[in-house]
Amino acid sequence: MSEAQTVELAAVTKRYGDALAVDAISLKIPAGKYCCLLGPSGCGKSSTLRMIAGHEDVTDGDIMIGPRVVNDDPPAARGTAMMFQNYALFPHLSVAENVAFSLRMKGVAKEERRERAAHTLELVSMTEFADRTPQQLSGGQQQRVALARALMTDPSVLLLDEPLSALDPFLRVRMRSELRRIQAELGITFIHVTHSQEEAMALADLVVVMNDGQAAPPREIYNAPRTPFVARFIGGHNILEDEGRTITLRADDLSILPDARAAEARRRARVSEIEYRGPDVRVGLETDAGESLTAVMGERTFFESPLREGSEVALGWQPEAAHELSRDG
């Protein structure tokens, strides 16, 4: 079993011709952590992952895995393994043969190949499917096989490029907890790129928001986004001007005040939209000052005194709920 390794990027830049795909990203991922690189499509997530794996040259900057700069190392010498978005399984080989393929290439004896493949299939809960071919599996099962195959090289760092994006929402949530379990069981470093803030928050010890460079545990990213970009991208936040400062306020911290407390109002607004979401209700608001804000309240709370579109309301929040943004972004 490989030991977990730190991964460090120092001002790593990628250009394709004149096009800048990754602009001097710096980050430090501690060994054995689950790190999610989060950002919108086209922000350079796959390029970053491919540079870490060694499938793409670094234009500028350094990549360190453990104590070593690996910029010039071939992929196989880096201790990384990549799980691809399209699972790229061999259609004519069985599940077990797919998983053992890299060992066969290395000339590992048949008995050992068989044993190690069986062990890895067990880890991803695919033992009973060992003799099937990939066409006889569902998308979620194919993905487990792809994961098992990546793990067979015994990596220190596993790289996952949007591994859940092709799955339906139900499977995605299930596979998410499987990935978390497998990472905890192996104790190696996972770097998982995704455009889904929900996925990043559910999985990561460390979330890195790509465009902005903020790197922090999920709760810190959510409760203390550093810039307007992060606050918008993470979602669930209002951004507003208050007493000369730009602040964020979680949508569930913006209160619609009952008439008796209207004197505490910090804003007056009109209800522009009501969206029922099951556990909660999202209320769109247009303030007198022309801001568009969102309040989210528990389903039961909302229906104690339901609002209607067009209602005039008073808005308030606790001073400690406001979080100041440090700069524009």
Please check whether residue 270 is in contact with residue 285, taking contact to mean a CB–CB distance below 8 angstroms. Answer: yes
Q: Which does 1 bind (CB under 5 to 8 A by kind): Mg ion, ligand ADP, none?
A: none
Nearer to ligand ADP, 21 or 147 (CB): 21
Q: Is residue 258 involved in binding ligand ADP (CB under 6 A)?
A: no
Q: Which does 113 bind (CB under 5 to 8 A by kind): ligand ADP, Mg ion, none?
A: none
Q: Which of these, 269, 19, 53, 216, lies nearest to 150 by C-alpha position?
A: 53
Nearer to Mg ion, 161 or 253 (CB): 161
HSE-up of 282 (CA within 13 Å, CB side)? 14
Residue 320: both structure tokens together: 């400690």
Q: Residue 81 forms beta bridges with which residues?
A: 158
Q: Which does 58 bind (CB under 5 to 8 A by kind): ligand ADP, Mg ion, none?
A: none
Nearer to ligand ADP, 2 or 71 (CB): 71
**What are the residues binding Mg ion (CB under 5 A)?**
45-46
Residue 167: both structure tokens together: 């799955």
Residue 235: both structure tokens together: 């979602």
Q: Which does 141 bind (CB under 5 to 8 A by kind): ligand ADP, Mg ion, none?
A: none
Residues 154-183 contacting ligand ADP, CB under 6 A: none
Nearer to Mg ion, 45 or 266 (CB): 45
Q: Is 144 helix (H, G, I), strand (E, B) or coil?
A: helix
Residues 8-67 contacting ligand ADP, CB under 6 A: 16, 19, 21, 39, 41-47
Amino acid identity of residue 252, one-letter, is D
- Give the length of the chain: 329
Token pair 């990213």 is at which residue?
A: 221
Chain residues binding ligand ADP by CB under 6 A are 16, 19, 21, 39, 41-47
